[in-house]
Structure 1
Amino acid sequence: MNGPGPWGPAVDAQGAQDVLVHQALMYGSRHEYLLTAVPYLRAGRRAGDAVVVLVEPPVAAALRGQLGRETAAEIEFLDAAQWSRGPMHALASCHDRARADWWPRGRLRLLAEPVWRGRTPLETREWKRHDALLNVVFAGTPTMIMCAYDTAVLPGHVLDAAARTHPELAGPDGPAAAARYTAPAEFCAECDAGPLPPPPAVAARRSFATGGLPGLRSFLFTEAARLGLPEDRTLPFVLAVNEVATGIIRDGGGRGSLRVWAEAGELICDVADPVRVLADRFLGYEPPGAKGHDAAMWAVRRLCHIVETRSGPQGTQVRMRVRIG
């Protein structure tokens, strides 16, 4: 890859600009952050990129102050807290906006800093996976992404994952190949290592088979109400579970079972397919389109807070989580 400068338009040997550039910016102070982030954004404006900043308000204010009013006015600032409700929400929303608004204006140049504080271990793991998936979802698109990590406050395991999920590192010395970069499929396999914890004994259980989906949906509505899921979240939950059950009936062994329970502020549904084995590490993470990616699982992941899958000789397990509060 070559270009006119550290953050100029990335091009391949044929001059095409549909080459994803995904960098991690490790910084130890606000001053160090601005030394790299501000030139990156200014270079985007000079190149005519669609420049987008996805950070929290205090960081946005610091960037605006350094960029100046005229340059800052040409950049779209988004509040990271609003985009960080869930990793799949952020991934899908960013892709939707890029396709509808940003790519039509040229190359997308994104500066982002996820909100890590207050995350559960599961949420933290899925945000790490999100960084790896960016390399898959935005591959072959006119996109530059710089993800910022505060080394002074973030735990070591988050910084370690950042070095493994970004093909390049950025900083005062310029981009450099990330020596510890791990292929997304391998990283996602590590995220899915080990079995899921078993459902609790109090979980409500239901089997389903061909012709049984209406009864299954009625059961899900009843359980959602009993366990305190708000009405405006119940239909998305039922639709997500129904999609998974439909896939098992259509493409699996024609029958399956599920369990539903509430835990730590979430409604959880565990669906078991005793026959089908899934080989796709990115099932439901890639947007449906010309490549024939699974539209049903893409929708399921968008309808839920987090979806976990495990698959092997024993069949496939899909665990869907929806926030109650």
Structure 2
Amino acid sequence: MRQAEEGSNPAASDPASTLIHQALLYDGIETFAAAAARFCLDGLARGDRIMAVVTPPNIEALEDVLGADAARVELVNALEWYDAPGRTLDACGRYVNTHQLDHPRVRMLGEPVWRGRDRAQEAEWTRYESMLNAAFAGSPVWIMCTYDTRALPRHIVDDARRTHPELVTGHGTTVSPAYTEPSEFGHSRDLLPLPPPGQDYGTRHVFDADLRLLRQYVTAWAAAGELPAETADRLVIVVNEVAANAVEHGGGRGDILLWTEDDSICCDIRDAGRPDGEGLELFAGYLPPTSATARGYGLWVARQLCDLVEVRTGQAGTQVRLRLRRT
């Protein structure tokens, strides 16, 4: 067991080119503020770039401890930052790319938002936490994600132990014995089937390589449902991108089902395709593609435009479920 002395962290001695990804498990706002302030002050002393993405009460607590040094930390409201897993992961990547050349490390203190999430959203945000390990592997990045063990459900905290290589508590820093590599963690989640659609849905529509007809079908469905123009446009774009993948990798055809669920638009796209390589498919759409023709581009676009994207691949084929807020 590696333990950190007060005001220090053994991970600080790791090479700057090595990703450090930790879960701070705290049981009170004072514990949070003390650990978060140490993380920030240590980074400032080393010339690191620091962004703290936490909820407003924790921003206030952190500012109180940091004092004048708070002005040297970029403070961001977590309720605005954590809006969709794909968009947030991309925003992290852009932040790192912007600052990594001018600083020894880029540090990000993050407080994922779990309140108000349903189980599907929880699962994808947990997968986001796991994907950080793949997205920033070998990068000069130090990420500390905070978890309030008093307020969060046990399964959320248990998953934090699986998605973070290191744990930080009031007793120090330790290697997480439950940590699971992103490929293995993602595969375990993919074994869980998606729930059936809600009651408000129609019939499945079959499509082939003529995606123009599919776009017309989706446009007509959106018009019948009186969707806002911006939402309808996003829906047509993401359906076209995912369907193009289905045509290319799923035998030239697929089917689509559209329905509404509370204030969301939901869409299932199925095809007969199966993964050629487990690792490639598990990471597809999470990391920015090198070009518009690169594999995974369609899923990446979907993750940027949708509020939730779920993918399941098995012997029966591939199922992609998209969710967009109506407004």
Fold equivalence (TM over 0.5): yes
State the partner residue of 2:101: 104
Q: Deviations over 1:189-231 (max 9, x none)?
A: 2222232233457324321112x21111111112123234321
State the partner residue of 1:92: 90
CA distance in 2, matches of 1:152, 1:119: 18
Check whether the contact 2:244–2:298 (CA below 8 A) recurs between aligned residues.
no
CA distance in 2, matches of 1:197, 1:36: 39
State the partner residue of 2:62: 63
CA distance in 2, matches of 1:324, 1:204: 21
Check whether the contact 1:287–1:293 (CA below 8 A) recurs between aligned residues.
no
Q: Which amino acid aligns with 2:76?
A: L
State the partner residue of 1:225: 223
CA distance in 2, matches of 1:215, 1:86: 29
Check whether the contact 1:164–1:181 (CA below 8 A) recurs between aligned residues.
yes
- Structure 1 unaligned segments of length 5 or more: list them: none
Q: Which amino acid aligns with 2:156?
A: V
Normalised by the size of structure 2, how large is the TM-score?
Answer: 0.90
State the partner residue of 1:287: 288
Aligned identity (percent) is 38
The aligned runs of 1:1-325 (5 Å cut-off) are 5-6=8-9, 9-12=12-15, 17-69=16-68, 71-99=69-97, 101-106=98-103, 107-199=105-197, 202-210=201-209, 212-277=210-275, 279=278, 280-289=281-290, 294-325=296-327
CA distance in 2, matches of 1:140, 1:176: 20
Q: How well do the aligned residues superpose, as a CA RMSD in angstroms? A: 2.2
For this pair of structures, how many residues does the alignment match? Answer: 316
CA distance in 1, matches of 2:11, 2:161: 22
Q: Which amino acid aligns with 1:153?
A: A
CA distance in 2, matches of 1:27, 1:126: 23
**CA deviation after TM superposition for structure 1 residue 317, in Å:** 1.1
Check whether the contact 1:86–1:305 (CA below 8 A) recurs between aligned residues.
yes
CA distance in 2, matches of 1:151, 1:287: 33
SS at match of 1:78: strand
Q: Which amino acid aligns with 1:248?
A: A
Worse-matched range after superposition: 189-198 or 24-33: 189-198
The verdict on how the C-alpha distance between 1:275 and 1:89 changes in structure 2, with shifts beyond 3 A counting, is closer
The verdict on how the C-alpha distance between 1:8 and 1:41 changes in structure 2, with shifts beyond 3 A counting, is farther
CA distance in 2, matches of 1:24, 1:293: 32
Normalised by the size of structure 1, how large is the TM-score?
Answer: 0.91
Q: Which amino acid aligns with 2:117?
A: R
SS at match of 1:281: helix
Check whether the contact 2:130–2:185 (CA below 8 A) recurs between aligned residues.
yes
Q: Which amino acid aligns with 1:284?
A: G
Worse-matched range after superposition: 186-195 or 275-284: 275-284
Check whether the contact 1:307–1:318 (CA below 8 A) recurs between aligned residues.
yes
Worse-matched range after superposition: 220-229 or 82-91: 220-229
Q: Deviations over 1:169-191 (max 9, x none)?
A: 11233221111111212221222
**CA deviation after TM superposition for structure 1 residue 311, in Å:** 1.3
CA distance in 1, matches of 2:183, 2:259: 31
